[in-house]
């Protein structure tokens, strides 16, 4: 049967493997696949030593049937299960045992009938580790299981392409074509298998094809409507509906009553093609009937042109609705058509991929299109304009980070509400249990500790918000974790177990909330939640078509479209009405509870409900909010009247206890207090009245937190958890995304929106910023009303920190992933000070092994923070744990890891996974204060990146090291405002014959700095420098050049026109030149000629011994610690303030002759290469080491540390 021999080997092709996979039935095709097509050697070894619990899962002993490589120690192992269903838990249990003997293997499982197959690659993310003296338990081995499914109903094109990559000849070097497979090591084969099972490669292919059909559909709609924005959103909605259909048909929910079809759309399309209907009517007359009639539980019998078989299938289609298949403005604003040819292209695209209804977990992945792909599509197609994604700062959060953040937030919030601090370890164990055996063990411990009942109660009531929900990734991630823990809780408590469908439906309806500024992003989030809901839904086919309620709930009031930060209505910031919910009268409480119940009926599509349409719910919400406002106004008016009466005759208001106080002093004190109360109440009443007026004048319903989620703020005083990945928009790109792009990008509108952002923060934390409303009279100048101002350079994510925290209830938990820049840069100081004084900053988690975002030039941190105290500054007694993980996040999903972090004190010894620095917030605050004002500190450099030797240097140099900024001023080079005018090369100089006195050598680019000592011969430009007025220049070439510049309009540029003479440039410079960015080198250049420098460089006048120090290995290490690591591309970036913060040695005890000699030695050298540093720097390093009194081991430690810092930075940039 297997005719090909070793001498006839050739590389497998997907087209030869595909027919084989399509006929997989029994073990013979499997043997042919590996022995013949993929060039593995034959073996036949049964594995009989299985534990009883594992042996009971298999129908026969596992079989090593193929091997490969130089030592024949990479195996293909076949396991036939006893069951007809392939269960992941069974596969994990078996593989966990098999890996102890065969760690390098591909595992292939089949069901008992050998019709269903899983090819499983296990990628170890952490080896099993024995416990150390600092650990209470050993850490569990973690493996990432990646599956390819082979079954009759699967689309196998992708599977064939990926399996073809397992060919041993394909894994070998091309030049040793026939011999290579005999030379391969097990490690090389394993690496090849890991590449073949790389889900990201499938994702990239899907993106590319999806974008192609999306752009074609969008272009077609745009040609018919001339409305690019509508066409974009309508095309996205159409494809989302189609995508949903592919997942639904995998559930076998489509087709006739007798036979449900996993290939229904193919059947549907073929029926149309053979029905002799008018051309280009499939979408209009067939697909729309499915969308808007069948899925809305309406009879399709009237469509007589449909074949009987199709009408029957539509009759039994599930009642979906939920809003996805309800007509909206993207269906009705324009009448567009989709041609049959275009539909065929869209259909062909979807048919080419295998869809799995199981959404991956961090440790289980299907090599197929899963619901998470929708989120990826959101990232790549975020807006009409290609550039808007980077402008808006929107980047899709990877699933591992999502899962980690969800679990950390839940552990923290449970600990805030339940048990004692000692119980927190239980919560870590419960939330970080992934394997069934782990869950069983910890569930028994929780039961013994009587914790399941309060856990279950809290988790069924918990409210979780993502205020920048995008495609709903965090909401879906939280759904999976909550569903798992709630199911385990109900099981442990003996509560009647709900179906997975009903449990998840309840979680989405009661526990999860999201907001996004992009309306169609909200639709994508709804789509992902619908898919997450139906994944495990075991609903009999007969029940689907007779359900009175739609299968899909209506998420409209859990997922809201709006601006999370600015809720300005008529000039009134309605985000500041939250205090209105305090002291809600009982009758209002009853109304709110009734509203919540009716809202839930609407969510479920109940037949008997008060709200029948979305508009009914919105009207009720606004009515309740107005009643709350009016109730608050009445309450304040009563208080005001009572206070005014008291002030008219205060003596009559004294109590018996107050009679002991002298009357004059008592009256003065009481009167002052009452006057303050009166002013405050009047101000609050005026604010309430302005809000009522603003709402009355509004024709459309605005998004306001207290309106949209009135039940959350009135009953729970805020959300329990706020979890987010906010937009990373830089300050210069911040704009109002609720406006059309052409409006939002106007300078005046951008300025006004930024002012609204600042005002919203000032008003939320009035005490912290010393905000005075009466001084806030200019719409674009809110800073006039505060004592402490937010830095103008603050990115949008900074505002999300402040507002996300404000949405929490007092025991709430905030978890966010953002750029790490705020840890080290000037604009982060406001947030740092706020967190230290008003919050408990619990954890700051960095990862030096792997970047979180491949598509963003940014490095990130995860922060876990407690709810703020909005009134008092009382949180400096807490401690913060800074953690730098040195392995990818998937390797630290373990309770023991976080138990170590929780118990950390001070600077902990490094482990294979992390480096921890625990420090009090009081100390963090003190270290950032200069001249009695908090100026910020280098948290990222000092507490996350700094190696142990850094702290040794600070200790040994505490009497010798000072800030560079304390002895010198580092300045930015010249900003010309018109480089084309001011920078002249030799050719232009000759052309204009400009006088030499008006030309000065200038260092325009770091590339011109080839040696430590600046060589003027390498300068390619001269700077036009003229300080004379035009009258003094009469008859000169310089004057003619200036006139030419004015003809070009250079004098009208903002930088130029701000000067007294627009052509006048600077003549400042210094003897030292700093670069803004560097990659593998470190240098501060010696500029004895005081040549001018461009704005891409910095300059300073430094003592020569300081210049030498900055070029030493210690200086290079300090640059690595004090730089900005926000750039994802791997470059080290430093601004002026960063250089000024660097510690420098002011006295190296080297004589003047030694300094001159060292400077002479290094002057001709190229910038220092950090990795594999050259020996010519050793003399300089030795002088610095001696001055710091470092031992031999400590000197080696400096070299090792700086090398590791640079290597880690560069490797991290390449990690995604």
DSSP 8-state class, residue 33: I
pLDDT band at 1145 (very low <50, low <70, confident <90, very high): very high
- Alpha-carbon distance of 1048 to 981, in angstroms, equals 9
Is residue 1127 scored above 70 in pLDDT? no
The terminus-to-terminus CA distance of the chain in angstroms comes to 44
Residue 9: its pLDDT value, please?
46
Residue 659: its pLDDT value, please?
40
SS3 355: strand
Of 166, 197, 228, the residue at which a domain comes to its end is 197
Average pLDDT over residues 1132-1138: 91
Q: How many structural domains are present in the chain?
A: 6
Q: Please indicate, yes or no, whether residues 964 and 991 belong to a single structural domain of this protein.
A: no
For residues 59 and 114, the answer to whether their CB atoms sit within 8 Å is no
**1177 Cβ neighbours under 8 A, 6+ residues apart:** 1111, 1112, 1113, 1162, 1165, 1168
Report CA dihedral (1186, 1188, 1190, 1196) to the nearest 10 degrees: -90
* Phi, psi angles (nearest 5°) of residue 982: -80, -30
Q: Range with the lowest mean pLDDT among 313-317, 398-402, 574-578? A: 574-578
Q: Measuring CA to CA, which residue among 152, 153, 98 is closest to residue 120?
A: 98
**151 Cβ neighbours under 8 A, 6+ residues apart:** 115, 116, 117
How many degrees, rounded to 5, is the angle at CA 925 between CA 923 and CA 930?
115
Strand partners, 917: 882, 907
For residues 943 and 917, the answer to whether their CB atoms sit within 8 Å is yes
Q: Range with the lowest mean pLDDT among 21-30, 135-144, 295-304? A: 135-144
DSSP 119-154: EEEEEEEE--B---TT-SSPBPPEEEEEEEEE-TTS
SS3 labels along 1016-1054 = HHHCCEEEECCCCCCHHHCCCHHHHHHHHHHHCCHHHCH
Residue 11: its pLDDT value, please?
53
Q: Which sign does the torsion angle of CA 940, 946, 952, 957 carry?
A: negative
- Alpha-carbon distance of 154 to 174, in angstroms, equals 33
Look up tokens 């109360």; give the residue. Answer: 677
- Alpha-carbon distance of 1144 to 1114, in angstroms, equals 9
Report CA dihedral (557, 558, 562, 568) to the nearest 10 degrees: 70
- Alpha-carbon distance of 79 to 95, in angstroms, equals 10
- Alpha-carbon distance of 848 to 1036, in angstroms, equals 59
- Alpha-carbon distance of 820 to 792, in angstroms, equals 18
CA distances from 576 to 688, 759, 807 (A): 10, 11, 11
CA distances from 965 to 110, 1073, 1184, 1211 (A): 68, 15, 20, 31
Of 685, 702, 719, the residue at which a domain comes to its end is 702
Percent of the chain with pLDDT over 90: 53
pLDDT band at 703 (very low <50, low <70, confident <90, very high): confident
* 395 domain-assigned: no
Longest Cα separation, the chain: 113
Q: Please indicate, yes or no, whether residues 282 and 353 belong to a single structural domain of this protein.
A: yes
Q: How many CB atoms lie within 10 A of CB 667?
A: 16
Q: Please indicate, yes or no, whether residues 21 and 166 belong to a single structural domain of this protein.
A: yes
Q: Please indicate, yes or no, whether residues 159 and 291 belong to a single structural domain of this protein.
A: no
73-103 confidence digits (pLDDT tens): 999 999 999 999 998 889 989 998 898 889 9
Considering 763-767, 1098-1102, 1131-1135, 1144-1148, the range whose residues carry the highest mean pLDDT is 1098-1102
Q: Please indicate, yes or no, whether residues 1014 and 1049 belong to a single structural domain of this protein.
A: yes
- Alpha-carbon distance of 438 to 431, in angstroms, equals 10
- Alpha-carbon distance of 654 to 489, in angstroms, equals 56
How many degrees, rounded to 5, is the angle at CA 762 between CA 761 and CA 765?
85
Residue 435: its pLDDT value, please?
83
Is residue 458 scored above 90 in pLDDT? yes
pLDDT band at 288 (very low <50, low <70, confident <90, very high): very high
Residue 576: its pLDDT value, please?
54
Residue 383: its pLDDT value, please?
41
Consecutive H or E run containing 735:
none
- Alpha-carbon distance of 370 to 158, in angstroms, equals 13
Residue 701: its pLDDT value, please?
66
Residue 1153, domain extent: 956-971+1072-1216
Q: Please indicate, yes or no, whether residues 776 and 662 belong to a single structural domain of this protein.
A: no
Residue 174: its pLDDT value, please?
46
1170-1182 confidence digits (pLDDT tens): 876 668 899 999 9
Please give the radius of gyration of the chain, using alpha carbons only, rounded to the nearest integer: 34
Residue 153: its pLDDT value, please?
84
Residue 175: its pLDDT value, please?
45
Is residue 1158 scored above 80 in pLDDT? yes
Average pLDDT over residues 654-666: 46
Average pLDDT over residues 196-207: 85
Q: How many CB atoms lie within 10 A of CB 913?
A: 21
Residue 655: its pLDDT value, please?
44
Q: Please indicate, yes or no, whether residues 228 and 350 belong to a single structural domain of this protein.
A: yes
Cβ-based burial of 716 (10 A; exposed 0-12, middle 13-18, buried ≥19): middle
Average pLDDT over residues 575-600: 70
- Alpha-carbon distance of 893 to 325, in angstroms, equals 39
Average pLDDT over residues 464-480: 93
Provide the total of helices (H) and of strands (E) in the chain, helices listed first. Answer: 49, 34
SS3 227: coil
* 498 domain-assigned: no
Q: Please indicate, yes or no, whether residues 655 and 676 belong to a single structural domain of this protein.
A: yes
Q: Please indicate, yes or no, whether residues 1018 and 1140 belong to a single structural domain of this protein.
A: no
Residue 358: its pLDDT value, please?
66
* 351 domain-assigned: yes
Residue 770: its pLDDT value, please?
92
* 789 domain-assigned: yes
Residue 627: its pLDDT value, please?
84
Q: In this predicted model, which residue has the larger pLDDT, 1038 or 716? A: 1038
Q: Where are the alpha helices (DSSP H) in 662-719?
A: 663-697, 705-708, 710-715
Average pLDDT over residues 275-296: 92
Average pLDDT over residues 488-506: 88
Percent of the chain with pLDDT over 70: 88
Long-range contacts: 346-351, Cβ < 8 Å, 24+? 346/213, 346/217, 346/239, 346/242, 347/265, 347/269, 349/209, 349/210, 349/212, 349/213, 350/242, 350/243, 350/246, 350/265, 351/155, 351/266
Of 1065, 1089, 1120, the residue at which a domain comes to its end is 1065
877-901 confidence digits (pLDDT tens): 899 999 999 998 988 999 999 988 9
SS3 labels along 243-287 = HHHHHHHHCCCCECCCCECCCHHHHHHHHHHCCCCCCCCHHHHHH
Is residue 3 scored above 50 in pLDDT? no
pLDDT band at 691 (very low <50, low <70, confident <90, very high): confident
For residues 209 and 239, the answer to whether their CB atoms sit within 8 Å is no
Cβ-based burial of 709 (10 A; exposed 0-12, middle 13-18, buried ≥19): buried
Is residue 178 scored above 50 in pLDDT? no
- Alpha-carbon distance of 232 to 241, in angstroms, equals 14
Average pLDDT over residues 332-344: 95
How many degrees, rounded to 5, is the angle at CA 549 between CA 544 and CA 552?
75
* 325 domain-assigned: yes
519-576 confidence digits (pLDDT tens): 878 888 888 888 888 877 777 766 776 676 778 888 778 899 999 998 776 556 666 5
977-1036 confidence digits (pLDDT tens): 999 999 999 999 999 999 999 999 999 998 899 999 999 998 999 999 999 999 999 999
Q: Measuring CA to CA, which residue among 969, 946, 865 is closest to residue 1125?
A: 946
* 191 domain-assigned: yes
Q: Range with the lowest mean pLDDT among 201-210, 474-483, 868-877, 1007-1016? A: 868-877
Q: What share of the chain is helix, strand, coil (3-state, %, to 5)?
A: 50, 15, 35
Cα–chain-centroid distance for residue 468? 10
364-381 confidence digits (pLDDT tens): 888 888 777 667 666 666
Q: Sheet holding 1092-1093: strands in order across?
A: 983-984, 1021-1024, 999-1003, 1092-1093
> E-assigned strands of 848-947?
860-866, 879-885, 914-920, 929-930, 933-934
Average pLDDT over residues 300-328: 84
- Alpha-carbon distance of 1122 to 1138, in angstroms, equals 6
* Phi, psi angles (nearest 5°) of residue 844: -125, 115
Is residue 873 scored above 90 in pLDDT? no
For residues 338 and 283, the answer to whether their CB atoms sit within 8 Å is yes
* 819 domain-assigned: no
Q: Please indicate, yes or no, whether residues 581 and 642 belong to a single structural domain of this protein.
A: yes
pLDDT band at 345 (very low <50, low <70, confident <90, very high): very high
Is residue 660 scored above 50 in pLDDT? no
Average pLDDT over residues 680-707: 78
- Alpha-carbon distance of 692 to 690, in angstroms, equals 5
Q: Please indicate, yes or no, whether residues 638 and 697 belong to a single structural domain of this protein.
A: yes
Is residue 1061 scored above 90 in pLDDT? yes
Establish how many alpha carbons lie within 13 A of residue 965's alpha carbon, considering only the half-sphere containing its beta carbon: 10
Residue 557: its pLDDT value, please?
81
Q: How many CB atoms lie within 10 A of CB 1167?
A: 19
- Alpha-carbon distance of 784 to 778, in angstroms, equals 8
Consecutive H or E run containing 397:
none
Q: Please indicate, yes or no, whether residues 960 and 994 belong to a single structural domain of this protein.
A: no
DSSP 8-state class, residue 701: P
Residue 2: its pLDDT value, please?
47
Residue 397: its pLDDT value, please?
79
* Phi, psi angles (nearest 5°) of residue 969: -110, 120
**693 Cβ neighbours under 8 A, 6+ residues apart:** 570, 572
Over the chain, what is the mean pLDDT?
A: 86
* 238 domain-assigned: yes
DSSP 8-state class, residue 25: -
């Amino acid at each position: 049967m297997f005719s090909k021999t070793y001498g006839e080997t050739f590389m497998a092709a997907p087209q030869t493997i595909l027919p084989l996979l399509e006929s997989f039935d029994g073990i013979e095709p499997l043997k042919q696949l590996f022995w013949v097509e993929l060039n593995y050697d034959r073996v036949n070894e049964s594995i009989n030593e299985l534990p009883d619990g594992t042996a009971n899962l298999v129908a026969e002993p596992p079989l090593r049937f193929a091997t490969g490589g130089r030592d024949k120690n990479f195996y293909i192992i076949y396991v036939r299960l006893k069951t007809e269903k392939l269960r992941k838990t069974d596969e994990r249990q078996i593989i966990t045992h098999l890996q102890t003997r065969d760690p390098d293997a591909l595992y292939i499982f089949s069901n008992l009938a050998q019709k269903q197959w899983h090819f499983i690659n296990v990628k170890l993310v952490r080896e099993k580790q024995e416990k150390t003296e600092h650990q209470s338990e050993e850490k569990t081995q973690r493996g990432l299981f990646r599956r390819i499914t082979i079954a009759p109903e699967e689309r196998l094109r992708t599977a064939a392409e990926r399996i073809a990559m397992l060919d041993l000849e394909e894994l070998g070097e091309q030049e040793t074509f026939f011999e290579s497979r005999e030379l391969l090591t097990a490690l090389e084969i394993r690496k090849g298998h890991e590449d073949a099972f790389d889900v990201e490669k499938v994702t990239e292919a899907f993106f590319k094809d999806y974008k192609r059909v999306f752009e074609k559909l969008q272009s077609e709609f745009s040609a018919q409507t001339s409305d690019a924005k509508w066409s974009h959103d309508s095309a996205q909605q159409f494809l989302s509906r189609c995508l949903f259909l592919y997942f639904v048909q995998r559930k076998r929910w489509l087709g006739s009553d007798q036979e449900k079809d996993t290939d229904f759309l193919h059947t549907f399309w073929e029926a149309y093609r053979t029905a002799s209907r008018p051309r280009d009517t499939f979408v209009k007359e067939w697909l729309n009937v499915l969308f808007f009639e069948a899925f809305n539980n309406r009879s399709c019998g009237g469509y007589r042109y449909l074949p009987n078989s199709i009408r029957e299938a539509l009759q039994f289609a599930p009642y979906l609705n939920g809003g996805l298949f309800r007509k909206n403005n993207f269906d009705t604003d324009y009448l567009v058509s989709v041609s049959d040819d275009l539909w065929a292209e869209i259909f062909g695209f979807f048919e080419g991929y295998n869809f799995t209804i199981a959404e991956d977990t961090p440790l289980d992945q299907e090599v197929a299109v899963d619901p998470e792909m929708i989120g990826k599509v959101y990232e790549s197609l975020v807006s009409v304009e290609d550039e808007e994604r980077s402008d808006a700062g929107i980047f899709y959060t990877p699933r591992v980070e999502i899962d980690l953040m969800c679990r950390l937030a839940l552990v923290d919030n449970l600990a805030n509400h339940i048990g004692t601090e000692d119980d927190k370890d239980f919560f870590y164990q419960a939330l970080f249990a992934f394997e069934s055996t782990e869950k069983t063990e910890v569930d028994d411990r929780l039961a013994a500790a009587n914790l399941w009942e309060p856990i279950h109660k809290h988790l069924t009531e918990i409210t979780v918000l993502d205020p920048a929900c995008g495609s709903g990734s965090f909401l879906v991630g939280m759904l999976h974790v909550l569903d798992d823990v709630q199911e385990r809780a109900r099981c442990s408590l003996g509560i009647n177990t709900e179906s997975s469908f009903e449990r998840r439906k309840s979680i989405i309806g009661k526990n999860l909330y999201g907001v996004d500024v992009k309306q169609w992003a909200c639709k994508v989030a709804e789509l992902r939640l619908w898919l997450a809901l139906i994944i495990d839904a075991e609903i009999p086919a007969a029940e689907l078509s007779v359900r009175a309620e739609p299968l899909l709930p209506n998420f409209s009031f859990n997922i809201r479209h709006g601006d999370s930060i600015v809720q300005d209505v008529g000039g009134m910031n309605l985000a500041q009405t939250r205090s209105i919910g305090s002291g809600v009268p009982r009758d209002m409480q009853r109304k709110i509870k009734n509203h919540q119940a009716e809202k839930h009926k609407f969510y479920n599509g109940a037949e008997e409900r008060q709200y029948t349409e979305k508009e009914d719910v919105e009207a009720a919400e606004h009515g309740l909010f107005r009643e709350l406002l009016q109730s608050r106004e009445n309450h304040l008016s009563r208080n005001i009247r009572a206070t005014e009466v008291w002030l008219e005759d205060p003596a009559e208001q004294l109590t018996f206890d107050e009679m002991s106080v002298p009357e004059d002093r008592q009256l003065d004190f009481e009167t002052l207090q009452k006057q303050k109360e009166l002013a405050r109440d009047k101000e609050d009443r005026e604010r309430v009245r302005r809000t009522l007026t603003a709402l009355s004048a509004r024709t459309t319903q605005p998004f306001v937190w207290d309106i949209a989620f009135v039940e959350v703020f009135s009953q729970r005083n805020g959300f329990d958890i706020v979890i987010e990945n906010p937009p990373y928009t830089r300050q210069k790109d911040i704009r109002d995304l609720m406006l059309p792009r052409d409006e939002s990008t106007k300078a005046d509108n951008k300025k006004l929106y930024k002012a609204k952002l600042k005002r919203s923060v000032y008003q939320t934390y009035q005490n912290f910023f010393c905000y005075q409303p009466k001084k806030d009279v200019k719409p674009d100048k809110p800073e006039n009303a505060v004592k402490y101002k937010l830095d103008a350079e603050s990115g949008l994510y900074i505002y999300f920190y402040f507002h996300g925290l404000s949405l929490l209830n007092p025991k709430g938990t905030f978890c966010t992933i953002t750029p790490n820049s705020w840890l080290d840069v000037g604009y982060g100081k406001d947030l740092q000070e706020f967190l230290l004084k008003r919050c408990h900053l619990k954890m700051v988690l960095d990862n030096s092994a792997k970047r979180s975002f491949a598509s963003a030039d940014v490095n990130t941190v995860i922060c876990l923070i407690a709810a703020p105290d909005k009134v008092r500054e009382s949180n400096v007694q807490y401690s913060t744990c800074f953690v730098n993980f040195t392995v990818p996040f998937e390797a630290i999903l373990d309770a023991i890891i976080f138990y170590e972090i929780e118990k950390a004190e001070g600077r902990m010894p490094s482990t294979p996974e992390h480096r921890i620095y625990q420090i009090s917030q009081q100390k963090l605050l003190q270290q950032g204060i200069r001249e009695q004002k908090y100026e910020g500190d280098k948290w990222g450099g000092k507490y996350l990146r700094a190696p142990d030797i850094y702290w040794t240097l600070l200790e040994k140099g505490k009497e010798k090291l000072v800030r560079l900024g304390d002895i010198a001023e580092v300045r930015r080079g010249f900003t010309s405002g018109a480089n084309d005018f001011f920078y002249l090369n030799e050719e232009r100089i000759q052309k204009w014959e400009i006088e030499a006195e008006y030309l000065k050598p200038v260092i325009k680019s770091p590339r011109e700095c080839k040696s430590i000592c600046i060589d003027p011969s390498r300068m390619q430009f001269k700077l036009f420098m003229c300080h004379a007025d035009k009258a003094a220049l009469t008859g000169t070439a310089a004057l003619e050049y200036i006139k030419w510049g004015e003809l070009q309009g250079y004098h009208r540029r903002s930088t130029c026109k701000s000067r007294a003479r627009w052509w006048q440039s600077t003549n400042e410079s210094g003897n030292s030149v700093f670069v803004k960015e560097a990659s593998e080198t470190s240098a501060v250049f010696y500029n004895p000629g005081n040549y001018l420098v461009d704005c891409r460089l910095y300059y300073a006048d430094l003592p020569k011994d300081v210049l030498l120090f900055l070029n030493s290995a210690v200086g290079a290490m300090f640059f690595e610690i004090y730089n900005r690591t926000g750039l994802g591309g791997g470059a080290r970036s430093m601004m002026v303030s960063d250089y000024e913060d660097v510690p420098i040695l002011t006295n190296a005890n080297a004589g003047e002759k030694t300094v001159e000699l060292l400077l002479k030695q290094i002057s001709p050298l190229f910038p220092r290469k950090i990795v594999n540093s050259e020996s010519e720097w050793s003399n300089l390093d030795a002088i610095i080491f001696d001055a710091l009194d470092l031992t031999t081991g400590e000197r080696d430690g400096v070299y090792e540390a700086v090398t590791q810092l640079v290597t880690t930075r560069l490797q991290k940039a390449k990690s995604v």
